[in-house]
Structure 1
Amino acid sequence: MKKEERQQDIIKKLRASKTAISGTALSELYHVSRQSIVQDIALLKASNHQIISTNKGYLLVEPPAKQKVFKVCHTNQEITDELYTIVEAGGFVKDVFVMHEIYGKITADLSLASREDVDAFVAGLDERNTSPLMKLTDTYHYHTVEALSDEILELIERRLREKKYFVVNE
């Protein structure tokens, strides 16, 4: 397979996937080095393909993603449900951040696109016995969420409101 054909096929694979595809998986699929995939992705980005590099792999965002920040509040036990609510409605949880009275804005990248991503994130918190960032601010925190349309973002907000996780800014 020629380089140009491989790049077009990478776009097709990324378009068809709801979750990130790792560079290693792509290199095995096309029988090329990981570095070749990194170069392919760089060229695809340079030709205006909206590819996001995450810690779990590559995601294609088409059309360019809409984005909204949601202020939320809930218990530790509700973390999984809150994140499922977002991804099941079609959202991509880009990050979590808090506004700390001393340190200011503290942000952590999440890159959650599926229930599996959420499960892995929550398992990581449990395995490492780590407190979530929201503990710094009495459980109030924010998520930057991306979606393919404003309608999806509105649906996410509606579902977060129904579950009483959404906080109206005062």
Structure 2
Amino acid sequence: MDAAQRRQAILELLKQSTQPVSAGTIANRFQVSRQVIVGDVALLRAGNSAISATPRGYILADGAMESNQLTRTIACRHSRENLAEELYTIVDNGCGLIDVIVEHAVYGQISGQLHIFSRYDADCFLEKLSKDHASPLCDLTGGVHLHTISCRSEEAYQRVLAALKEKGILFSK
């Protein structure tokens, strides 16, 4: 299999997957290094493939949410200590976190793909932050950030808002 065939096979793999697929998993499947896969994905993105990198791996952006889901943007503010509480509150009330967005003084808007739809996803994200000694994006802005969330219903969205407000995490004037 040459590089072009491998890249096409990577796209097919991602199209068939409903969950993120790690670069290591893809590398093992095609018997190449993880770095080769990272390069392949970069070339696919440069060719306008809608591949998002999440904390758990690659996913096609089109497959990130079911079409019957509502998407909303919420503003939050909390310390690092409340990060797990924020994530759990959103997923426990029937919504998922698509991304996180911060407004940086120099770089402007910075976003990171999350694709967190369960406590398991949240735990994987939190573990990766800890293991890699990484800082969440909200550390850049004193805890203020936006999330695009995906909700099964308007009622789930309202539950999330109420629960985050009660916990002092929802950012409002």
Q: Which residue of 2 aligns with 1:118?
A: 122
Q: Which residue of 2 aligns with 1:134?
A: 138
1:102 equivalenced with 2:113 (yes/no): no
**Runs of 4+ that moved beyond 3 A:** 20-24, 52-60
User: Could you list the per-position Cα deviations for residues 136-156 of structure 1 after superposition, in whole angstroms to 9, with x for gaps in the alignment?
Assistant: 111111111011211111110
- Listed as ranges, the gaps of 5+ residues in structure 1 are 1-13, 15-19, 25-32, 35-51
Normalised to the residue count of structure 1, the TM-score between the two structures is 0.65
Q: Is the 8 A contact 2:65 2:150 kept in 1?
A: no
Q: Which residue of 77, 90, 95 corresponds with 2:94? A: 90
User: Could you list the per-position Cα deviations for residues 104-127 of structure 1 after superposition, in whole angstroms to 9, with x for gaps in the alignment?
Assistant: 110000000000000000000000
User: Could you list the per-position Cα deviations for residues 25-79 of structure 1 after superposition, in whole angstroms to 9, with x for gaps in the alignment?
Assistant: xxxxxxxx99xxxxxxxxxxxxxxxxx987366666152x111111111111110
Identity level (%): 30
Query: Which letter maps to 2:154?
Result: D
- Listed as ranges, the gaps of 5+ residues in structure 2 are 1-16, 23-28, 31-50
Q: Is the 8 A contact 1:62 1:148 kept in 2?
A: no
Q: Which residue of 1 aligns with 2:171?
A: 167
- 2: CA distance between counterparts of 1:127 and 1:96? 20
| Closer/same/farther in 2, CA of residues 92 and 56 from structure 1, 3 Å limit | farther
Q: Is the 8 A contact 1:89 1:156 kept in 2?
A: yes
Number of residue pairs aligned between Structure 1 and Structure 2: 125
Q: Which residue of 1 aligns with 2:44?
A: none
Q: Give 1:92 deviation, angstroms.
A: 1.0
Q: Is the 8 A contact 2:70 2:152 kept in 1?
A: yes
Q: Which residue of 2 aligns with 1:61?
A: 66
Q: Which residue of 59, 76, 79 corresponds with 1:75? A: 79
Q: Which residue of 148, 160, 163 corresponds with 2:152? A: 148
- 1: CA distance between counterparts of 2:131 and 2:76? 24
Query: Which letter maps to 1:70?
Result: I
- 2: CA distance between counterparts of 1:23 and 1:166? 31
Q: Which moved more, 1:118-127 or 1:145-154?
A: 145-154
Query: Which letter maps to 1:119?
Result: D
Normalised to the residue count of structure 2, the TM-score between the two structures is 0.64
- 2: CA distance between counterparts of 1:154 and 1:131? 29
